[in-house]
Amino acid sequence: MNCKNCNKVLVDSQKYCDECGAKIIQNRLTPKVIAAQINEQFLSIDNKLLKTFIDLFKRPEVVINGYINGTRKRYIDVLQYFAVSLTLAGIQVFLMTTFFRDAIGFDSQLNQTIQSMPGQENNPFAGIESDIFTKYQGLIYILTVPLSALGTWLAYFITRNRKYNYTEHLVVNLYYSGQIIIITAIFSILFLLFGLNYVIVSTILTLPTFIYFFYVLKRVFNEDFWNTLAKFILAMVIYLGSLLALTIIAMLIIVAIALIINK
């Protein structure tokens, strides 16, 4: 018998490949097998997803530092966790744009502002949909994670704490972002069901996300309160500065393209 993933020769009694670590699957796919796999991965009380979610609150340093240092089986992989969070965010966006459009007060206000601007025929933003940020929320999450990782990496690099390189800071920020996206999506859906305005919900959730980010940095890098606070502030300044710069560049490109098209 050979491993179906790496083709290494195995003995019949093996349950896992000793070369690539893959589980040996001998049963054919049936609804019962699929249901068992879904239960194992997502629904059972001891599954990796739930354990990762809980421990990212209780002891984020164990999850994040463990993954960086090579512990990859105890918790869900960082990219899988981020992908799960984006899936949940996608469900949130679908519900918002399909059933709760009236709750997204910002979009209607922005649309009215754009439509009331003089000279609509020469306005490069006239054709932009007001809910573009809601529709492309997942893409925005993906694009901002490298920037937040740049912020933390530079903050710790400048202050001579060079424990982790940029890629490892990317792991820190992916786990953090995945956790925040999941929490934001869950609470947004719950609040929208109660008829609350999405802008109000987002504002309420902003402060806890910053506090949690500080908490993660403190636990992962194991520094005292004031050192962590200084690096947190520096990281946020770098992140917001780079985000602002990229936003301005993107807007200038959009305006330039719009002006060329309108000529």
Per-residue pLDDT of the chain (263 residues; tens, 9 = 90+): 777 778 778 777 777 777 776 777 766 657 766 766 666 655 554 578 888 999 999 999 999 999 999 887 788 899 999 999 999 888 887 877 776 666 555 444 445 554 555 544 555 444 445 455 556 677 888 889 999 999 999 999 999 888 899 999 999 999 999 999 999 888 877 877 777 666 676 777 788 899 999 999 999 999 999 999 999 999 999 999 998 998 888 788 877 887 777 66
pLDDT for res 198: 65
Asked if residue 17 lies in contact with residue 24, where contact means CB atoms within 8 angstroms, the answer is yes
Cα angle: 17, vertex 47, 181; to 5 degrees: 115
Q: Give pTM, 2 decimals.
A: 0.73
Task: Give the Å distances, CA to CA, from 169 to 60, 96, 243, 245.
Answer: 14, 32, 17, 21
pLDDT at 114: 47
Output the pLDDT for position 58. 93
**In this structure, are residues 42 and 88 in contact, taking their beta carbons and an 8 Å threshold?**
no
Give the amino acid at 17: C
Give the closest residue to 214 by CA, choosing from 226, 200, 201, 202.
226
